[in-house]
Each structure stands twice: as C-alpha cells, then as structure tokens.
Structure 1
Amino acid sequence: MLDRLDRWAAGLTSLAALIGTLGLIAEVVVILADVVGRYFGAPLSGAQDVSTMAMVILVFGGMALCDRQGGHIAVDLFEGAMPVWMRHAGDVISALLGAAIFAGIAWTMWESAQLSKMLNLATNIIQLPKVWFQYAVIVFSLIAAFGMGLRAVTLMFGGMRRHRIEDAL
C-alpha cells in the first residue's frame, strides 16, 4: 500500500517539478528578451509580471522534489550525539511539521484566491489574473504536504530514512 502511494507521490512530484521547470524556462526567456529589448530601446512589456508569476511556479513547483530528495536545509550540529531513536523521532516530527506548514500555505492561499477571484485581482502591467497562480500554489503545496506526510508515515512504520543530498557527496 505504501509502495503504491509512494509511486503516486513520485509521479505527482515529477509533474510538479516539470511544471516548475517550465516556469524556469519562461523566466529565463522573458528576462533575456527584456534585457536584449532594453539594449535596443524596446523593453518587453509585462516582463516584470511574467517573471514574478513564473518565479511562483518555479519555487512551489520544485518544493516537493526538493523534499523528496532531501534537499531542504538541515542543521545537524547535535545529531551525532543523539541516540538513533531521537534522530528518527526528529525525522518524523520534521516531516509532519513540514506537511502541516504546506497544508497551512495551501489553506491560506485558498482564502487569498477566493478574495482575488471576488475582486478580480490581476498583475499590474499586463493584467494576468492572480487567481490562477494562487491555485497553482495550492496544488503544489498540497503535493509537497502529501509527500512529507507520506514520508512521516513511512518513517513511523519502519521505513528507511531518506539520505540527504550532502550525505551522497
């Protein structure tokens, strides 16, 4: 059962990361076009709006992948002096706390999206509707929360501790 959920989480994480990658590509193309346009005296209209919204997609789209690969910042000054059970408990608690934080982000963004929808809020220059980007943050945050919650459950039932990126170096 957990293996099936993990495969599903991996697929959702990959999809979110792919969309985040598209946000990165859009960001680079828009900034490049704007810089070249400014050099020739014709800056790209709305570049600030597009790059801001692309950054939202980039950051939140990659968050679940960052967690899945153990890429979040970890300060482990005292970890070597702790017993194994305490390190394990810390891993479970941090996963649960992360899941709660991202669920909270999704919830507050949902409330903000309802306001944006009601007031028809848009970006300043080219009037991109903000609500669609807020919906994207909700989905990406829920994917990250799901992955972190699944990691906590896996750790609680004797699953392996995921290696951090620096452990692999």
Structure 2
Amino acid sequence: MLKLIGALLVIGAGTLAGFYQAQQFAVRPRQLRELILALQRLETEISYGFTPLPDALERISASLRDPLKSLFAQAAQYMRPDYGLSAQDSIRKALEDYWKRTSMRNAEREVMEQLSGVLGTSDRQDQMKHIALAAQQLKHEEEAAREDQAKYEKMSKSLGLLIGALIVILIF
C-alpha cells in the first residue's frame, strides 16, 4: 500500500514538473508581448506626452501585470529623489530585483539593459529610435518564443509524466 502511494506521489510530482515547464513555455510569449507594448507606450509618453521618465514608467506599470508591473514601478521608484539613481542604474537594479520572476531569458534582459543606457541620457528622438529598435528585437524573440511554445509545450507535459513513471519503474 505504501509503495503504491509512493509511486503515485512520484508520478504526480513528475507530471506537475512537466506542467510547470509547459506553463513557462506558454507564459514567455505573453510576457514578451506585454513588454513590447510597454515599450511602445513608453515611446508614446516620451514623444507626445513629454512625460518625465519616472512618471512615464509609473504610468506604464499601472497597466501591466506582475512581474513586469513590479519591474517598471521599481525602476520608477529608484529614479525618485529618495534613491537618486540614474535611469540606467535604476532600470538595471530593477532588472536584478525582478527579472527572476519573469519567464523571459537573458536575450531579452540584454535588450532591456542596452536600452537603459540610452534612456534619460540622450535627446528625445534618439530615445525613440532606441525604444523602437528594442521593441523590434523583442518581437523577434517573441516569434522564437512562440515557436518554442509550439514545439515544447506538449512535449514537456508528456515528458514530466514519463520521467515520473521511469523513476517509479527504476525504484520499484
């Protein structure tokens, strides 16, 4: 009886691990799309609204879901006089704090870090060009993420179950 319960627990754990990995493949394209839309909104705030960067990041964070909401809000907070960090330092610090919560990879983080070096240090036109370039790079990453999702989401679910079954077979 105990062996059966143990076997079911192992198979269940393997299946849950597979479903968790499949969820990561499904969430990544959505988060990338949300990040692209946030950058496009930032571009609009800078070009048409003449909004200061901390205020723009705060407004954008209000329309996002976590973890991107927290990332943008924290970057805006780091730019406030309480912390007094530059735009680059505040965005990089927010990335350090919140990037692990996202399903995104290092390529997307590098795009954001490169963009942080330009925000607040160059004129409006240059910032808009860099934001558009970053959004374009993220669109390519989104396409790759959708391809990965199509390839690996279903496989991850099946593989989790099969690995759990394999462990049960090897143990018992």
Give me the TM-score of the superposition, normalised by structure 1. 0.34
With CA pairs under 8 Å and 6+ residues apart, which has the higher RCO, 1 or 2? Answer: 2
Largest Rg, 1 or 2: 2
Q: TM-score, length-normalised on structure 2?
A: 0.34
